[in-house]
């Protein structure tokens, strides 16, 4: 069976509405916005100049199998200058819904909780500084860098010829400030290129490439 899709929407007017009864919903995948102990079908708030947060509960207990669920968002009514970040409470994963478009997870039969954060975003592209590659005695490595503002990050390790050696992350929503990401596998001695690409909620992209050498 294919993946089930949960579509979130953005509205222009402040409104809240209760979920319909289960018999009316007619969908084995049931979800709602949790506010003050109630599950709502709609919870639209006013105030473009400040941040808002929503708690989403996705109930997969009635699904006939433990399939994949895709959470996506209809952004047509979302004003420019507002970013949406989804946080998976079970794994801590963060996704920018403007940049990545969707988030996938495997249904386990238990309710899954998410947080949606809406906040004003800057229009200037991010600045990437302080790129470092740190190797532990075990041979594993970690990538460190600093972002001037929040962005969705792709980070990878390349050979001097441009071949991808390891991927640290893909489409990860990262905060401003110091970020640390583990690099899978063992790192041998040699010269590498670290490539970090950061994309803002509005689509502005910055890329930084820095050569690093591992001597032992």
pLDDT tens digits, 141-158: 899 999 998 889 999 999
Q: Which of 120, 152, 184 is the C-terminal boundary of a domain?
A: 120
**Cα dihedral value 49, 41, 84, 75, nearest 10:** -100
Please check whether residues 10 and 116 belong to one and the same domain: yes
Return the ∠ at Cα 103 (arms to 205 and 156), rounded to 5°: 45
CATH code of 155's domain:
2.60.40.1220
Instruction: State the residue range of the domain holding 17.
Output: 4-120
Please check whether residues 72 and 160 belong to one and the same domain: no
Distance between CA atoms of 81 and 188, rounded to whole angstroms? 43
* pTM to 2 decimal places: 0.56
Helix (H, G, I), strand (E, B) or coil at 185: coil
pLDDT digits (tens, 9 = 90+) for 83-142: 888 899 999 888 888 777 788 888 777 888 999 888 887 777 899 999 998 887 776 789
pLDDT digits (tens, 9 = 90+) for 34-71: 888 787 777 777 666 678 888 988 887 666 565 788 88
More confident: 187 or 136: 187
Please check whether residues 33 and 79 belong to one and the same domain: yes
Please check whether residues 150 and 116 belong to one and the same domain: no
Number of structural domains the chain divides into: 2
Please check whether residues 210 and 133 belong to one and the same domain: yes
**Cα dihedral value 158, 159, 160, 163, nearest 10:** -80
Tokens 């792709």 locate to 154
Q: Which of 120, 151, 185 is the C-terminal boundary of a domain?
A: 120
Q: What is the DSSP letter of 104?
A: E
The tokens describing 89, both together, are 């409470």
Count each helix (H run) and each strand (E run) in the chain, helices first.
1, 17
Among the listed residues 142, 204, 207, the one whose alpha carbon sits nearest the alpha carbon of residue 179: 142
Q: What element of type H or E holds 170?
A: strand 164-174
Distance between CA atoms of 85 and 80, rounded to whole angstroms? 15
């Amino acid at each position: 069976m294919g993946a089930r899709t949960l579509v979130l929407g953005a509205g222009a007017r402040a409104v809240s509405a209760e979920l319909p009864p289960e018999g009316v919903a007619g969908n084995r995948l049931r979800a709602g916005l949790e506010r003050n102990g109630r599950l709502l079908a709609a919870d639209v708030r006013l105030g473009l100049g400040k941040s808002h947060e929503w708690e989403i509960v996705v109930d997969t207990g009635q699904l006939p199998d433990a399939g994949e669920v895709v959470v996506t968002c209809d952004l047509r009514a979302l004003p420019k200058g507002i970013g949406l970040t989804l946080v998976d409470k079970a794994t801590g994963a963060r996704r920018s819904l403007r940049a990545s478009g969707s988030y996938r997870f495997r249904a386990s039969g238990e309710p899954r909780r998410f947080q949606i954060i809406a906040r004003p975003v800057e229009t200037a592209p991010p600045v990437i500084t302080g790129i470092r590659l740190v190797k532990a005695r075990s041979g594993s490595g970690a990538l460190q860098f600093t972002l001037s503002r929040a962005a969705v990050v792709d980070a990878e390790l390349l050979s001097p010829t441009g071949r991808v050696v390891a991927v640290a992350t893909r489409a990860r929503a990262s905060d401003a400030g110091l970020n640390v990401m583990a690099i899978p596998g063992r790192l041998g001695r040699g010269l590498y290129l670290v490539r970090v690409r950061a994309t803002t909620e509005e689509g502005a992209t910055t890329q930084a490439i820095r050569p690093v050498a591992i001597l032992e």
